[in-house]
Amino acid sequence: MPNPVASRRSAPTALRLLSLLVGLCMALPLGYLLLRALQGDAAQAVALLWRGRTLQLLGNTVALTAGVLLLATLIAFPLAWLVVRSDLPGRRLLLWLSILPLAVPGYVMAYALIGLSGHYGFLNQLLGLRIARLEGLAGATLALGLYTFPYLFLNLRSALLAQDAALLHSARSLGHGPWSCFFRVSLPGLLPALAAGWLVIALYTLGDFGAVALMRLDVFSSAMYSQYHSGFEVRQAAWLALMLLGMTGATIALFRQIPTHPRPERSGLGVAARHQPVRLGRWQALAWVFIVLVVLASVGLPLAVTLFWLSRATTALDAPALWNSIWQTASLALPTAAVATLLALLCATLAAWWPGRNADMQERAIYFGYAIPGLPLALAVAFFSLHTIPALYQSHAVLVLAYCISFMALAYGPIKNSLMQTGRKMHDSSLMLGVSPGRSFCRITLPVIRPAVFGGGALILLMVIKELPITYLLVPIGIRTLSMEVFSRTNEGMMLQAAHYALLLMAFSSLFMGLLLWQQNQRSQSA
């Protein structure tokens, strides 16, 4: 009979070996990328670092990140306040509309902006209103800002809901006005949410490839792809990848310096006081104008432009090619979701039930993989596979490995939290009754944490469907996913041919997001 006391003290050998394997999978490709970059003349590397082209890439990357953060904040902050604190009707619908832009990937938003402007654009063809083609820094900032602001919105909404109204009442009783209360009480409590949202948006912007490439903006990610794709400057591509990784690390360190303490804290126990909805009065009309503009720009514009180009079709739909792209996308997304979720489940079990140094190192490796921009990660995996097992290069196995490194954290966090909340008392009790550990976990623990497992798997599936840089660099020959079709056809000016794929991407993303929101709502109601 298994000894449950002993099992609590030490993790199974298989889980510890898996933890080591996960860490190696995260570290080896990047270690090889560093080794590849260091091969060659050090003077050449220094010259590459300080040449004018590199400084231009640095300036464009910093400007793009700052612009996207500013635009996302200007949209998300007032939107979150209106949803949480105002008396606007239909705030539940407004919440859903505020999250829906996540279903429109950045490169699809770029497709919509390109299809809107110029001589052949939506505005000129329908209204005779011709505007200059949106491209460069302004176009990329607009595309990424409209896609990423929900990340900040969700963080701010949660923080606003958690704030205790009694703190504001106390500040007002001490003679502070509305603006003083905001800057002295509300804003310090929102800084952690702001920092977390800003960090997610900044990391996404640094690693984006599709939107910046379509907008013809030279940043580190697009330059890195050009160097690697040309086949002549592979070492320079490796150095650019390391520079981008350095910027990623610097960004994480910078946002960790944002002061989040001390924060206003409650002085008593009990239930936090609820905020009374603020009556907007005559400002309600202006609030609705802002909301309508945001929804039209972030959701209505991509949908309208896509439908416009579909209406211009003069030839029959190439249904076989479309179905083939759907099938090939599913052939990558479904295995990745299954493998990554299984690995996340096993790793989360080790971290939740046997915490320690191994579990901590494993967790850092998992989140480190998630923080790495897609293109440097793909480049590292490509270099590693080419020079260790060349037969695996551009295979399904290597691509699924890269996906797992990048997205496993999306399932790991929710599953670990669910396991920690569930505990293992029932599991240990079944062990004492003679049930095997695997059978006990599958029949007792797994049904309890099933919502977190399926939610994490669905999120990974959604991210793989939308993923572009990793797919574009590592995809097997002959595979054309939905994201690749949208990007390549838009890049070639084939707006009509890209419309079908863009519409399907938005439909699939909206469906999965709706399922995730429904599941979250069901869990909150059952709790």
> What is the per-residue DSSP string for 23-63?
HHHHHHHHHHHHHHHHSS-HHHHHHHHHSHHHHHHHHHHHH
What pLDDT score does 278 carry? 67
Quote the CA–CA distance of 374 and 209 in Å, as a whole number. 9
Encode burial over 29-68: b for 16+ CB neighbours within 10 A, e otherwise.
bbebbeebbeeeeeeebeebeeeeebeebeebbeebbebb
In the chain the domains, ranked by start, together with CATH numbers, are: 16-50+315-527 (1.10.3720.10), 55-238 (1.10.3720.10)
Look up tokens 């076989």; give the residue: 320
- Long-range CB contacts (< 8 A, 24+ apart) of 225-228? 225/375, 225/469, 225/472, 225/473, 228/379, 228/382, 228/473
Is the separation of the CB atoms in 152 and 73 below 8 Å?
yes
Distances in whole angstroms, Cα of residue 361 to Cα of each of 128, 412, 450: 59, 14, 26
CA distance 24 to 144: 33
- Retrieve residue 116's tokens: 């809107």
Angle formed at CA 267 by CA 261 and CA 272, multiple of 5 degrees: 95
The Cα–Cα gap between 46 and 391 comes to 34
**Stated pTM of the model:** 0.83
Cα(56)–Cα(59) distance, integer angstroms: 5
Contact 483, 492 (CB under 8 A): no
Which candidate, 21, 22, 20, 29, places its Cα nearest to that of 392? 29
Burial class (CB in 10 A: 0-12, 13-18, 19+), 91: middle
CA distance 236 to 441: 49
Cα–Cα distances in angstroms (integers) from residue 160 to residues 132, 260, 262, 451, in the given order = 40, 15, 17, 26
Element (H, E) at 226: helix 220-230
Tokens matching residue 505: 């991407």
Which pLDDT tens digits describe the chain residue by residue (527 residues)? 444 444 455 777 788 888 888 888 877 777 777 777 777 666 666 766 677 788 899 999 999 999 999 999 999 999 988 888 777 887 788 888 888 898 888 889 998 888 887 777 777 777 777 777 788 999 999 999 999 999 999 888 877 776 655 556 565 555 555 555 565 556 677 777 788 889 889 989 998 888 998 999 999 888 888 877 765 566 777 788 888 888 888 888 888 777 655 455 444 444 444 556 667 778 888 989 999 999 999 999 999 888 888 887 766 677 888 899 999 999 999 999 999 999 999 888 888 888 888 878 888 888 888 888 888 888 888 888 888 888 888 889 999 999 999 999 999 888 888 888 776 766 666 666 666 666 767 777 778 788 888 888 988 999 999 998 899 889 998 899 999 999 888 888 788 888 889 899 888 888 887 777 776 666 655 55
Instruction: Identify the three-state secondary structure at position 368.
Output: helix
Q: What pLDDT, on a 0 to 100 scale, did the predictor assign at position 526?
A: 57
